[in-house]
A and B are shown apart, each in its own frame.
Chain A
């Protein structure tokens, strides 16, 4: 039997004196898109940092792609891609799109991180995959929000990772950009990548998610969308939750504020 892609067992994490994750356990056993939801301060980003081996738990065990993220971090980081929240990027640093995408390759190399012809080809291929090849020489901070998000995903994909961590990539995007990103996620799913996607709202990813993990310091719910998405179950976590019927489909707005 194959080892699970992600295995988190009874993990608790403290930041300062505060417990941010409390006895969290879950497994991802096959390539899938896991949508991680939770109110502000629920520990969603901490969960990503835990899985990347950046934050250590004080209790429990973590395995990602069969590796211990704290002891085998170098090997693990060569197998994962990461897209941070948009406010973690400095738009004051005028990098070209090419430099941003190559960052994803060069950071995985050992110092002094010499750039090879193959690296440039891989970066161009990743950018072309996202339909952004014509932006190679453009400045990153002059692109639209949706284009920037696609460039960051291209950076994450440039070294061909098996596991992707995406932190609020849909936040603040217009409808068209959201649709473009959904197409990208569909393509990645077809390629059997495992995607851990942290978001504040269910829409527009709901239909694409294989499983939904609702977090509020511990796992409140984890399962297939139809099992998790009931008003009664979500209401205690999201008091402002609203449901709307549209074209015979029930749309849930969680009503949580962006962090």
Chain B
């Protein structure tokens, strides 16, 4: 019988992996790098969420504020990216500065038991996921999977040829914002699982590796899910039998999987 901590971690990694394929669409959109930048916003959202919850406990879980912060940053960044690299760079540095400032200032005012919650968003431990965390991750992941499935065609058209999509009547601004919103929820989910510092490994590596495996988009989506799940599954068991922290072990396995795929790709390109 599995230990409840391990079981929750495994269920958590399943939900996180389900939301990973949206990173493949962001990769095709040429905006994957933005997801790792958006993850910084998770930290500011967590700090603000914990602060508000400390004074008004009825306002819900800090994870809600993490999602709101990530979505707001994501949409602002998507708008800024239309103004060129300079405005995009500005927006990314502003969001990072605000998040770090919120984290540092709010953390210093929080009691120690509340600080731990904020810190768990910086460096997370999968084995400490609570039932509430799992419920939050399940809801957020389900939203991303359903939305991505419903609007899959529109997102792919945006990635391939935004100009024609707009010319033929697709509301490209609306769908682009929707894509960035779903991606922001994925960032929030992965940040909760892995912590902001290591979230980048599950946000970027499975999507990047999937492109080396196949040229078909549907297969890229499935393989990114499998790589993320395998990384999480392997990482959890590696950490159980070694002294490596769980998130670090997941990151390590994902890097190993990517390296292996990369070497195979070099020897036998698609």
Contact = CB atoms under 8 A, between A and B. Distances in A.
B153 A89 contact: no
A209 B53 CA distance: 70
A90 B168 contact: no
B146 to A, nearest CB: 13
Interface string A83-122: 1110011101111000110011011100011000000000
A49 B161 CA distance: 15
Interface in A139-183: 139, 155, 165
Interface in A227-242: none
B164 A84 contact: yes
B160 A89 contact: yes
A77 B165 CA distance: 11
A90 B161 contact: yes
Contact of A54 (B28, B150, B159, B166): B166
Contacts of B162: 88
Contacts of A100: 160
Given A90-B28, A93-B28, A113-B153, A108 B169 contact: yes
Contacts of A82: 163-164, 167-168
B217 interface: yes
A107 B170 contact: yes
A4 B253 CA distance: 65
A103 B163 contact: no
A12 B156 CA distance: 34
Interface of A: 49, 52, 54, 73-74, 77, 80, 82-85, 88-90, 92-95, 99-100, 103-104, 106-108, 112-113, 139, 155, 165
Given A73-B169, A88-B163, A139-B215, A107 B157 contact: yes
A190 B161 CA distance: 29
B85 interface: no
Contacts of B159: 90, 93
Interface string B142-180: 000000001001001101111111111110000000000
Contacts of A73: 169
A229 B80 CA distance: 43
B161 A104 contact: no
Contacts, number: 67
30 contacts: A54-B166, A54-B167, A82-B163, A82-B164, A83-B164, A84-B161, A84-B163, A84-B164, A84-B167, A88-B163, A90-B28, A90-B30, A90-B160, A90-B161, A92-B30, A93-B28, A93-B156, A93-B160, A94-B216, A95-B156, A95-B160, A99-B156, A103-B157, A103-B160, A103-B164, A103-B165, A104-B164, A106-B153, A107-B164, A107-B169
Contacts of B217: 93-95
Listed from nearest, the 7 A-B pairs whose CB atoms lie closest are: A107-B168, A82-B167, A84-B163, A93-B160, A88-B163, A77-B169, A94-B215
Interface residues of B, number: 21
Interface of B: 28, 30, 150, 153, 156-157, 159-170, 215-217
B161 A89 contact: yes
Contacts of A95: 156, 160, 217
A112 B164 contact: no
A139 B270 CA distance: 13
Contacts of B156: 93, 95, 99
B236 to A, nearest CB: 33
Contact of B161 (A88, A94, A139, A165): A88
A204 to B, nearest CB: 24
A249 B165 CA distance: 41
A85 B164 CA distance: 10
B23 to A, nearest CB: 14
B215 A104 contact: no
Nearest to B157: A103
Q: Which of A49, A95, A100, A113 has the most B CB atoms < 10 Å from its CB?
A: A95
A40 B160 CA distance: 25
A52 B215 CA distance: 33
